[in-house]
Amino acid sequence: MSGRFTRVGSMPQPTDSPSPAPTPAAAAEVFGDRLALAEAYHRSLATVAAERGFIGPKEVGRLWERHLLNCGVIGEAFAEEMDVADIGSGAGLPGIPLAIARPDLHVTLIEPLLKRSTYLREVVAELGLDNVSVLRGRAEEQKTGLYEAVTSRAVAPLGKLAGWSLPLVKVGGVMIAMKGESVADELERDSAEIARAGGGEAEIFTVGEGILEQPATLIRVVRTRESGRR
């Protein structure tokens, strides 16, 4: 995927942090001419985010395959120029890789914790990501009907996630959530909760075929009506 190139700033790096892993060949396919931004974000996760405890020590050596590439390929699921919210963004996953891979999207990172939202603002400024904004707060406290899509990764069980996500999108908008292989079971179990949140048609699909060793599993749920939340 291609887009305009943004000059990368230098992120502060703790001297005792592990060295970043080499950039895999697949990264160029996912991030195109914004690969340098993805590499800078990778360095920040491996150093600053790891130092602050947002990334576990075991994850540092596998950031590319389990986090950046895995999140970057979800750009396949979004239409052009969508206004997207990433709820429970944490250290910026999946929102920042999505915004790097898809510069046409505007991505709002919604994160309730002060330390994490502070980091998000720092890294967004350092990378010069002018298509990303950071909002500190809980998803269920935000204004409803603002976005065309809401995404997330490893935030909550599907029913609860739908209750947080679907009210944020306009009627006709979508929740596109990263989920594991058990998502079909979650969908069957939580269908009533999804309906109460205003959800209608649901589709389970994968992205990253031919790029990732294990493609990412997503679920798309359309918001077909108003929910009880205002």
Point out the annotated binding site for S-adenosyl-L-methionine.
88, 93, 139-140, 153
Tokens of 171: 């009627």
Distance (Å, whole) CA 7 – CA 135: 24
Distance CA 107, CA 224 (A): 22
DSSP lists the bridge partners of residue 176 as 151, 220
Q: Among 91, 209, 213, which Cα is nearest to 153's?
A: 91
Q: What backbone torsions phi and psi does residue 147 show, to the nearest 5 degrees?
A: -115, 160
Q: Is the dihedral of CA 218, 221, 227, 230 positive or negative?
A: positive
Q: How far apart are CA 50 and CA 25, in angstroms?
A: 24
CA angle, residues 160, 68, 168, in degrees to nearest 5 = 30
Q: Report the binding-site residues.
A: 88, 93, 139-140, 153
DSSP state string for 162-221: HHHHGGGEEEEEEEEEEE-TTHHHHHHHTHHHHHHTTEEEEEEEEE-TTTSSSPEEEEEE
CA distances from 119 to 28, 77, 90, 115, 172 (A): 26, 27, 9, 6, 33
